[in-house]
Structure 1
């Protein structure tokens, strides 16, 4: 965290709305991206991100400066998204789960692009089948590099519960992925087509 960022946080805690507006501008992309990966819908993600910032603003005085601000903010957003998922209990829409840093530049080999796209499609279809808490744990760990302790704090779980969830979710994803890969290619394509309609 930069010195300027720390200063803005302190000013925001003291009630400076301009300082908080700066923090919103600084963190709006990672907060929106998390909400989008959790909810799978651009409009819902935008609403969730706004709600997360509003909740953060209301809770600023309870923020612990020993904790990274972005981690605290993403925790608020993740909690809100999990609540939204529990309320609606409907299948998620397609998620864009490829982290920004992994998006290839230039003009890569077309065969590799198709293979990577198919693989990402399989992964995000499989992630949609996890429970909301398991999905949140996986996304926070592998897309946002949260530690197990940070995930535990975010999801109000024990560290051992997080380890158990991550282990179980990874195993479930691996098993489902293996089953999908063993299906004939034509069958997989047909399933993908029907699942996105």
Structure 2
């Protein structure tokens, strides 16, 4: 990845019709956009489709980009809004977690530890999917995209205090869901 200092130049070149400049922006941010889409949509194919649509929307709206904001923040705003729209259209159609392990990085530990880590990751991903979409998007932006409260506020259009409140509630909801799963597992084994 090149220095981010050339982003304004790439944006200007794109606006002037240089498709290679936009291709450079796509190359830089595909990973971040895919990660956000995958965490929110919980399906690799849907996330790939979302990435295509998100970059298409960004290209079409590039003339409305405010250069006072970070480009990645603007792009993730488009991504977050698109994913929320997709989730609203789905309405409680929860997806399977069959391909989660494929996208999780290896820890290079023994098979037992790997199995335990995969189970824990799957449990967290499943708990994440149980969150209402407004809490899920905030959680993904904070813990998977590593955005600050202020950046999340910019992406979502919420105040910084609202972001903190929603994150607190999301953590409590995740804790409750994970605790219930643990108790159910305990009951099954005894």
TM-score by length of 2: 0.85
Contact 1:36 1:42 (8 Å CA) reproduced: yes
**What is the match of residue 168 of structure 1?**
169
Looking at both structures, which has the greater relative contact order when contacts are Cα pairs under 8 Å and sequence separation is at least 6?
A: 2
Q: Distance in 2 between matches of 1:44 and 1:6?
A: 30
CA distance in 2: counterparts of 1:178 and 1:140, whole angstroms: 23
Aligned residues: 185
Match of 1:58 in 2: 60
Partner Cα distance (1:105, 1:175) in 2: 27
SS at match of 2:115: helix
Decide which of 47, 50, 54 is 1:48's aligned counterpart: 50
User: CA–CA distance in 1 between the matches of 2:14 and 2:100?
Assistant: 32
Relative to 1, partners in 2 of residues 1:97 and 1:164: Cα closer, same or farther, differing over 3 Å? Answer: farther
| TM-score using structure 1 length | 0.82
For residues 2-45 of structure 1, what are the alpha-carbon distances to aligned partners after superposition, in whole Å with 9 as ceiling and x for unaligned?
33444323322333222112211222222122212211223322
Offset of residue 84 of structure 1: 0.9
RMSD: 2.3
Poorly superposed stretches of 4+, deviation over 6 Å: none
- Name the counterpart of 1:80: 82
2:14 — aligned with what? 12
